[in-house]
């Protein structure tokens, strides 16, 4: 049985004090969520240590939103994988479309990031997804397949086993437009097949999350799909009650 996960990507929101308060509110309700569902929260770098304290003992996982493609040294402004581990992270989001789009992250850079993250024992939450033009041109399967192949095919099976994949169609992020359960399921099945082509049966064990305007009102339908193992939640993760409601939607 693969893990069900609901992960909250806080993006660049909340002050440290607000973030700690949000984390405490999530922690206070986390025991309502069945043990079969793993909660993860991904606050900004500045919040990791105090948020880690706030969720201690709850089983909620702590994730970064990015990680450097270098081990250490003169790379001003970057945060290395071992620093994230020392701050209490077990996960890091990598390849989010906002990083690809606004910060020029390429597949080549993501190969380095995924390798470094897994080498330090972090589980990457590796994001893929097509933009609106690609969807309208009917290229969504092709785009997502290439993103998975270009980066994840470079991993050993041992490191691939640590990866969580998140399918986030760019046109659904923060727009209120959600992929239909059918649209999401067919891409998730495609991603699993692409993983299986390289890694065989391991593909059945890989958690694949849906992200993009996922909220309490649509999570149930999405999570009922056979290849959708949970969600990567943006806006709705900033409200503890909505985040918990999504986690109760399996």
Binding site for ligand 13P (CB under 6 A): 9, 96, 168, 173-174, 211-214, 232-236
Q: Is the distance from CB of 136 to CB of 177 less than 8 angstroms?
A: no
Closest to ligand 13P by CB, 63 vs 199, is 63
Minimum CB–partner distance for residue 141 and ligand 13P (Å): 20
Catalytic status, residue 120? no
Residue closer to ligand 13P (CB basis): 71 or 241: 241
- Least separation in angstroms between residue 126's CB and ligand 13P is 12
3-class secondary-structure state, position 7: strand
Helices and strands, number each (H, E), in the chain: 11, 8
Given 105, 120, 168, 188, the catalytic residue: 168
Give the nearest distance from C-beta 156 to ligand 13P in angstroms: 26
Minimal CB distance residue for ligand 13P: 234
**Distance of CA 21 to CAs 11, 13, 26, 69, 84, Å?**
16, 13, 9, 31, 21
Q: Which of 47, 96, 120, 188 is catalytic?
A: 96
Minimum CB distance to ligand 13P, residue 172 (Å): 6
For the question of residue 47 being annotated catalytic, the response is no
What is the C-alpha R_g of the chain? 17
DSSP labels for 132-189?
A: HHHHHTT-HHHHHHHHHHHHHTTS-HHHHTT-EEEE--GGGTTSSPPPPHHHHHHHHH
Nearer to ligand 13P, 160 or 173 (CB): 173
By beta-carbon proximity to ligand 13P, the closer residue of 125 and 148 is 125
Q: Which residues are catalytic?
A: 96, 168
């Amino acid at each position: 049985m693969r893990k069900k996960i609901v992960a909250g990507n806080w993006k660049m929101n909340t002050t440290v004090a607000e973030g700690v308060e949000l984390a405490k509110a999530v922690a206070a309700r986390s025991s309502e969520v069945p043990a079969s569902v793993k909660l993860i929260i991904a606050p900004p770098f500045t919040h990791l240590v105090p948020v880690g304290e706030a969720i201690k003992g709850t089983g909620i996982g702590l994730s970064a939103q990015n990680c450097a493609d270098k081990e250490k040294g003169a790379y001003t402004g970057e945060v290395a994988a071992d620093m994230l581990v020392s701050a209490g992270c077990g996960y890091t989001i990598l390849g989010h479309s906002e990083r690809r789009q606004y910060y020029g992250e390429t597949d080549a850079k993501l190969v380095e990031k995924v390798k470094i993250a897994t080498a330090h024992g972090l589980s990457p939450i590796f994001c893929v997804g097509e933009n609106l033009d690609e969807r309208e041109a009917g290229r969504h399967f092709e785009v997502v397949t290439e993103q998975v192949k270009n980066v994840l095919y470079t991993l050993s099976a041992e490191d691939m086993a640590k990866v969580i994949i998140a399918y986030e169609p760019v046109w659904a992020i923060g727009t209120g437009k959600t992929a239909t359960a059918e649209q999401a399921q067919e891409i998730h099945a495609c991603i699993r097949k692409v993983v299986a082509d390289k890694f065989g049966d391991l593909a059945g064990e890989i958690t694949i999350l849906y992200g993009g305007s996922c909220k309490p009102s649509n999570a149930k339908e999405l999570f009922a799909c056979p290849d959708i193992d949970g969600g990567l939640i943006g806006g709705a993760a900033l409200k503890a009650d909505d985040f918990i409601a999504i986690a109760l939607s399996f």
